[in-house]
Structure 1
Amino acid sequence: MQHGGNLAKARALFPQAPEPWIDLSTGINPHSYPHSPIPGNVFARLPEPTSLDELKVIAASAYHAPSAAHVAAGPGTQILLPIVASLVEGRRAAILSPTYAEHARAAKLAGFTVIETDDFEKLGTADLAVIINPNNPTGRIVAKDDLLSLAVIMREKGGLLIVDEAFIDVSEAESVVDMVNDGGLLVLRSFGKFYGMAGLRLGFAISRPDVVRTVEARLGPWAVSGPALHVASEALADHSWQMKMQQRLKDDAAKLQNLLCGANITVFGGTSLFRLVRHPRAQALYRHLGDHGIITRRFDERPDDLRIGLPGEDGWARLEQALACFARS
């Protein structure tokens, strides 16, 4: 599947579109976390190891990991993908699909033959199994008991189940972070999506301490920037903001769904950060919105599908107007 957030490409595709662009292609919270000012010396100095240790303690509490020793922090889960894929000595990787394409790419880089399947049972036949829960872009949720049963299968044969919980903060899915100490399981958590700060580049790999030590050794020192340590330590401990934002995003997602349904566009799935629509004129809708300076995410392999994220406060009126115009076309 294609990546979102490429405004240069959008401008090339729609040179006459009005600016500023409304980017609904990434599935990132448009309401960024209101962190305190970043001290100037954070930019001038290498990150302190103690600051990373403190962040791991906070992250372990926020994500309900057994301890800080179960948490590795890196510069975004994108960087962590090939590292965690290479933790397994095996030949076959299976990914529950359709889903985010980077897991398959990372597994191939690690030397795996990759199969993408919609059959959950087939995941247990591989050495490395990958599930995004909730799924991107469909919003599909796999039950915790099913995930833990698969983790047992992987553990017994020396394999690994990777559960990517990038969007779990905005869904009803149940995390498996609390069970990582049993083995055969590694969980990825993304910071930037829910906190609206993807450019900060921060993600976590959560697993048994021996696995975490291997991940950290491969990352090397100073893997997390000083600004990221400062912001994330505040945000992950701010439970009041988290609860209020989860409700706000639910409300925004319902508003987006009403706009889409009002334009006779079927909503097929999603989370509180995006809606997946399925429509025979999805490509026409992509172009129509693009002409109005609104970029969404389309999928070459599924031309009837389109993923639409949440606009910021100043984007709702333009989106509503564009959708109403499309409904009349």
Structure 2
Amino acid sequence: MLEHGGRLRAAAQQYGIPLNEWLDLSTGLAPWPFSFPAVPASVWQRLPEAEDGLAGVAAQRYGAAQALPVAGAQAAIQLLPQLRSAGSRIGIAAPCYAEHAHAWQRAGHQLLELRDEAIEAALDELDVLLLVNPNNPTGRVFAPAQLLAWHARLAARCGWLVVDEAFIDATPELSLAAHSHTPGLIVLRSFGKFYGLAGVRLGFVLAEPSLLNDLNERLGPWAVSGPARWIGLACLADETAHQQQSLRLQQASQRLADLLAEFGLVTQGCALFQWLLTAQAAALHQHFAQRGILLRHFTQPQSLRFGLPATEADWQRLRVTLGELPGSKS
């Protein structure tokens, strides 16, 4: 399996720092989880029921015609390649979340990793174009109009545009959810990141009914646990908390960008993280880890992703550690 952020126990063992002394900024998750009432005992005792209204509430939240609940967007990432004929030509806007390329390659497809500026020229040779918007880890965004134009060209040849919108909740104006009922457009939404509840393992696929039916058949019965469905319903329907979370995330991300810039680290990002492109990524990652702060290190290209601190004490701890960098500018 590929390596991901959040492996706090492994870091604790590697650096000899107790688990409860770490500040984990490696995952790109909202550090303030939504609150919800206690899950009733009956939810634990019954098999999950697709008629509980979760799909409809999610579709309404995202502005989509239909939504299919899945056990985290990762479940859909692994299964979507099985719905295309082997040997299809898959273009992936890179760098991006590595599980996408991994899943399509494992299913026997031809993979072409594309820089943003190369997509236009390559599009007519592709069966599928896949991208993350906002991108993970760079935070780059594509305008909806550009994506819809690419989708039209792909769909005319029975191709797909797959858009992973895992980090889009705080900027819903960028979403293609309202267009996801059209053939050839598949939108993936993550629950855990925006709601700060990654352990729930919940996500949604937004697409035309026939594709959702095919995917649902491959998922099999009870793909999402009853407690996860119950928590998802409670959180998705909380409009006030949704607005508060969006504002808080955007403010915190800007604060993080400003703090890093204060120490000479110029970043780009989205509402949930900031990304630093630097040849010194490995050394910087070790500097922070030795002080009990876990960042996400990427090797292609060499870079670091900084998640959002949750408390003022966390912010001050990050500031102190930045101030200990060799040659710090502040």
Tell me the TM-score range normalised by the shorter chain. over 0.9
Amino acid at match of 1:275: Q
Aligned equivalents of 1:156, 1:278: Cα separation in 2:
37
Distance 2:310 2:190 in 1: 21
**In 2, Cα distance between equivalents of 1:239 and 1:248:** 14
Matches within 5 A, 1:19-168: 19-51=20-52, 54-66=53-65, 70-89=66-85, 90-118=87-115, 119-121=118-120, 122-168=122-168
Quote the offset at 1:142 in angstroms.
1.0
Task: Report the Cα distance in structure 1 between the residues aligned to 2:119 and 2:24, rounded to whole angstroms.
Answer: 33
Query: Hey, what does 1:310 align to over in structure 2?
Result: 308
Aligned counterparts of 1:312 and 1:124: Cα–Cα separation in 2: 45
More displaced, 103-112 or 275-284? 275-284
Structure 1 gap ranges (5+): none
Q: CA deviation at 1:229?
A: 1.1
Q: Distance in 2 between matches of 1:221 and 1:19?
A: 38
Conservation of the 8 A alpha-carbon contact between 1:180 and 1:208: yes
Residue-by-residue CA offset, 1:74-131 (whole Å, 9 max, x unaligned):
1011111122222222521110111111100111122201111112212442112101
User: How far off its partner does 1:271 sit?
Assistant: 0.7
Letter in 2 for 1:145: A
Please give the TM-score of this superposition, normalised by the length of structure 2.
0.93
In structure 2, the CA distance between the partners of 1:6 and 1:123, relative to structure 1 (3 Å rule), is farther
Identity %: 38
Q: 1:171 to 1:137 in 2, by over 3 A?
A: farther
User: What residue in structure 2 maps to residue 240 of structure 1?
Assistant: 240
What is the TM-score with the length of structure 1 in the denominator?
A: 0.93
Cα distance in 2 between the residues matched to 1:168 and 1:15: 36
Q: Deviation above 6 Å: which 4+ runs of structure 1? A: none
Determine the structure 1 residue equivalent to 2:325.
Answer: 326
82-91 or 97-106: bigger deviation: 82-91
Q: Deviations over 1:267-323 (max 9, x none)?
A: 1x11111000133433222111101100001112222x1100012214222111111
| Cα 1:322–1:206 shift into 2, 3 Å | same
- Give 1:172 shift: 6.7
Structure 2 Cα separation of the partners of residues 49 and 17 of structure 1: 42
Specify the code of the residue in structure 1 equivalent to 2:50. Answer: P
* Whole-Å separation in 1 of the counterparts to 2:31 and 2:13: 24
CA distance in 2, matches of 1:237, 1:319: 34
1:210: which partner in 2?
Answer: 210
CA distance in 2, matches of 1:182, 1:283: 43
